[in-house]
Structure 1
Amino acid sequence: MSAFDWPALMRAGLLGLRLTPDEFWHLTPAELWLMLGAGLGQAPMGRSGLEALMSAYPDGASDTGEPDE
């Protein structure tokens, strides 16, 4: 079981979300997690994703960053 960082969670709930102490303490950890937007978005690109992009779009010897004419 992992420990909760209560000071950080309280700052996020009371200051960030502007919850009252009563509202904060009545939330389940899952509800607070959802309100904080955790789990949204995509995970950062890993090495394999970067390598796939580099393979699909290689830099050429004449690549100056300027559009082709």
Structure 2
Amino acid sequence: MSAAFDWPALMRAGLHVLRLTPREFWALTPGELQTMLGAGTGTKPLLRGGLEALMAAYPDKRKDKDDAGR
């Protein structure tokens, strides 16, 4: 048996949280179970390269005299 999987926790999540039947639970692939449990739905943090790309695409603008009243 592999130590990488916490089978009791996975079974609780599948059977109690997702309310799957045992047949449905055991028919899933690990990837399908991860997706159903919400793994991978978070966004990655913005790293320096991404910030620099955003700054280049949307530079700060100085207000002109014409923009002051808007």
Q: TM-score by structure 1 length? A: 0.57
Where structure 2 has 5 or more consecutive residues not aligned to the other structure, the ranges are: 49-70
Structure 1 CA distance for aligned equivalents of residues 8 and 39 of structure 2: 17
Runs of 4+ aligned residues of structure 1 deviating over 6 Å after TM superposition are none
- RMSD, aligned CA: 2.4
Query: Map of 1:27-42 to 2, 5 A cutoff?
Result: 27-42=28-43
Structure 2 CA distance for aligned equivalents of residues 13 and 39 of structure 1: 17
Structure number with larger C-alpha Rg: 2
Structure 2 CA distance for aligned equivalents of residues 13 and 25 of structure 1: 9
**Cα deviation digits, residues 1-31 of structure 1 (max 9, x gap):** 8611100100000000000000000000000
Query: Map of 1:52-63 to 2, 5 A cutoff?
Result: none
For 2:29, the aligned partner's letter is: T
Cross-structure match for 1:25: 26
Tell me, yes or no, if structure 1 residue 10 matches structure 2 residue 11: yes
Q: TM-score by structure 2 length? A: 0.57
% same residue: 67
For 1:41, the aligned partner's letter is: G
Cross-structure match for 2:56: none
SS at match of 1:13: helix
**Cα deviation digits, residues 14-53 of structure 1 (max 9, x gap):** 000000000000000000001001011125x6xx88xxxx
